[in-house]
Structure 1
Amino acid sequence: MITAPLPLDEDARLRALRQLDILDTDPEEAFDRIARLAAFAFAMPIVLVSLVDEERQWFKSHHGLAACETPRSVSFCAHAVLSKRLLVVEDALDDERFLDNPLVTGAPNIRFYAGSPLCLADGQVVGTLCLIDAKPRAFDDAQAAMLAEFALLVERELELRRQLIRSRTEHERDRRSLAISEARFRTVFQQTPIGKAVVDLDGRFLDVNQKFTQIIGYEESELRKLTFASVTHPADVAADLTHVAELLAGRQASYAMEKRYLRPDGTSVWVNLAVSLVRDVSGAPLHFIAAVQDISSRKKSEEALRNYHVELEERVRERTAELRRSRDALQTITDNLPALIAVVDRNLCYQFNNQAFQRVFAAAPATLRGRSLRETLRPDVFEQLQPLFARALAGERVTCDDVRYAVDAERVWQATYIPVERDGQVTGFYVMSHDVTEQRRTEQRLRESALVDPLTGLANRRALQDALTDLRSGEDPFALFFIDMDGFKDINDRYGHDTGDALLKEVASRLTATVRAGDVVSRLGGDEFVVASQGVSDARTGERIAAAICREVSKPFEVAGRVVETSASVGVVLAGATGAAGVAGATSASSASSAGLSLEAEGRALADDPLCLADAAMYEAKRAGRNTWRVAPGADELAPVASAGA
């Protein structure tokens, strides 16, 4: 029995589990209902909602099983939690991790297991929704998808529980905050140096602070008998009431205006008024909050400022003249920008150019003014850009990402054309062109890196699929070699993942050195590699390559200062070759069975995909004792078995 190691994020995972406050709680119908439905949908005798704790797995729902928990050391679910993806064991007696597990050899005599991880919103996997049977079963992709959907229902219940706990905590915090806020509001309301008032929906003053009474001249007791309209200057009442109506209609959340209040002695005072409408939780209006600031002094200052209007206009004229004189400064600024900057009129003639044109076009900016773009640009470049010029003159801002001004076309520019408008008419356009050569090179490097496995430097799954598409669309025969390391997990467990990664790099180097220079060597992930070899026209050649792979991989490796021994199981598919497995049509179930494939391999071989066929053949090599190969059956018969040492 192999016990699942702890995940790297185990502390965070356990923290997330305990924050649910769900362990050792009473059964809940929401979880039991999901378990019952899953049992019915999959015709499964046992369905568990399993939560993996530090030393145990505890069942929130255990349909068909009396036990509420089992030790984590014998838990199937711990393996699913570790991998964070669906775990399917179609026959536990065929899986070295579980064949001697007490839950397999004894009650409940597990033979089939399928567990879908339960992942919280923060990414932590706290357990699984799992199906258990005492007999082996097949489990296809449709069933896997359905199990994932049921797991989503459990995850939703867990999230609802977490949100409820969070809501309770936040409610208590909000209650305390509200009490503090009310105390602060009263302090701020009374002690602020700005006049404050609370006004009801009928305009009556409910509460005012001392500063408000000082500004308006009424005592607080007098104001409580009045409305804001009755103490507002008649000329300002209409505007104030219009704003109030906008607030009540919900068209604005607040408003500010300058208005005059009338004091008891008949004099007026200018104020800056800011009003907000307070609503209850349902959105119904409650009352207004008004903030008032005395601006009488500012109004007097504004009157004085108007007296300087003529003087200011003169200063504006002087400033305009100064701006004209600054044109030379503008030329200097644009000349030092790392871009081509120009102004072009409606006749496509330059009106302004910066110094960058000297470097790119070997022409001084002054000599280009008045010169047409057709004369300046190469004919092919002008033809490329002319439609964009027309769109810019029509008032549209346009950009071309691939402009090559030089004949050698080494430098790439991004040019933007911005319309120039005066009095509603487009009089030309601005040109701003940046050198984006290095950016394009960086983008190209990023695209290339997307096709490379970062650990080994081999082609990744995406690159392999591209290569397979090309091979299958061609007429030449090809072979696929699906390679899986024997005992790699034991090496990882014994020496650590750093040593495992170093070993994978060494395996990648040997595979590259073993196969032909034109072959595609890729890593699918984990310890799985695939070699795509074009031009393999017969089974003998395919077997020779597979034997070479087994032989080279079985040689000892020196990794991290220690000698590591491993081997490989290889599945071979020959497409379009003599006696090869056909790729255009799927292998029938009867032919697969007559060739000796197991039920699992038979299911894999039914896929119309050479990669699936090679994968199935590799599993046959595993069952044959490892460190060997199998050729997928084709029109004739399964290729003879050969070991790496034969």
Structure 2
Amino acid sequence: MKPAKDWHAAPLPADEAKRLRQLRSLALLDTPQEEVFDRVTRVAAELLQAPIALVSLVDEHRQWFKSRVGLDVCETARDVSFCAHAVHSESLLLVEDAHADARFAGNPLVTGAPHIRFYAGVPLRSSGGLVLGTLCAIDTRPRKLTPAKQAALCDLAATVEREIVQREAARETLEVQEVERRKLRVSESRFHTIFQRTPTGKAIVGLDGRFVEVNPKLCEITGYSADELMHMTFQEITVGADLPADLELVAELLDGRRTTYSFEKRYRRRDGGTVWIDLSVALIHDDEGKPMHFVSTMQDISGRKHSEEVLRGYRQELERRVLERTRELTSSRTALQTITDNLPVLIAHVDADLRYRFNNQVYRDVFGVEPSSLHGTTVRETIGAAAFEHCLPYFARVLAGERVAHEGIVYEGAPNRMWNATYVPEFQRGEVAGFYIMSQDITETKQRENQMRSEVMLDALTGLPNRRALAEQLALSIDAARDAEVPFALFFMDLDGFKNVNDQHGHDAGDALLRQVAARLKKTTRADDLVCRLAGDEFVLLARGITSTSACSRIAQDICRAIARPFEVGQSEARLGTSVGIAMCAGGTQTSAEAILAEADRAMYEAKRKGRNGFRFASLLAEVAPAINNLVDRGSATRH
């Protein structure tokens, strides 16, 4: 007797536990045969003229046949299964002669019944990209399979895959219904995951303003318990003076004039005090586009407001003292000059014709002129035409008798500095005869404010803009697309294979790898494109001015090629891919940041299902997306 040849059982996939959970959740194993699957196996057997065709589901220790043609048994052991090898394939596992393949030559299914010589199996994936089994054709004689028939078998597999995905969706629908029936448990889960683990106050607010859900941080901010707040409206705890502006912004949300808003206002605390908050609100719609409720985020900014109030009080006190002393010493120019020259503030007295009557010595430091030479000259001559035009409306207000504060001034003599100014009218016999100017250098203060804002908007690991920065820029891009008809494209990227690298080399290596990915994305994209890191291994590219799908395809291909190059991980190399979902927003399009981001996300998952390290277009292009994605598929096949 001829000795048996060696054969190899397929290794377990990296996501085996997750794959098995997904398979068993679909309730397909050990169920009766169904026509929807049998129809496919019959067509596959006829199309390929193969004696055996199967829909095989790979369980923990077996492969079980949901549909079979030409085979009496309903399952075999997994360790002798060809389909267990196909689970690792990206598209099609083709064995033209099992006797010539070291993996299968000694396999009992080759040496014994059903005497497999030829095998062609296409992986069947869930909506999340997990391989659950295969559609396969088997023959007892070696043979080849033309590219056309390979493509046809893949198309039939897509039909089975679509049925599985539909059942997955149906299962998810049942789960949602179960969630609705168990509302209390879901509420507790949502409360724990969404609200309790955040350092800011959060609330779900009904359209009537009543609190529906609140988190502990909001209770801490307001001093009310959760039960008390959920019997109240936001109108009841908002300080009356701040309420009209808040309600106006709410009306703009409901009218569709804006998608979100931010607003600084005060809440009345339970103990009678007030607290300043930075409020951000978004309106949530149902599937039919009808408003459902508001989602609000509140951050306690009382400390900042207190600091601003102290600074404002200090400035007003300084201004009051300067004015008081200026008035007292008007008759004594020498004394007045001495005092004002030693204050770190530009101080001037201007008449109704906007000509200087008095200047302190700080004017010499800033403008390089002697203060005495400015008497009788116009303000425009000193501060420059651009600054003068900027200040002119404020001059008009102070000459009308109003005390005016003005910030963000850049004088011609100090182009790299920023100033604020206070203009106080001078009354003589009930008429405005001129005004006093007190102007302070606020450059360092503004720089600190800008630095703080920049730090809030950046991802700490990669240095890229973060989710908050993306939300801000995406809202601006949507407004520009709607109002100025400036198109843009959104690329949602998820790394393929990152988890394996992270698990194998550790989180420090994973973090270093993410930084390398960020650097490549920045190098690959245009200088004015916005590359963001959302979280984990998810990145987003916002590219403005993109008008064609071909341009999007080129960008996506460049990204895929850049990420596919080997990365250095310690002393070794790692290889990744990236799945890219593309959503385009044409000029004049009406959409929202949430909608276009969700569409790009779904397109990314479609790219993963189609083989990974590739890209797909979103359904926002519903009328052309299928054709475009077919072209993408054919282009990918040609490249491969």
Decide which structure has the larger Cα Rg and report it.
1
TM-score normalised by structure 2 residue count: 0.41
- In the superposition, the TM-score normalised over structure 1's length comes to 0.41
Choose between structure 1 and 2 for higher RCO, CA contacts under 8 A separated by at least 6 residues: 2
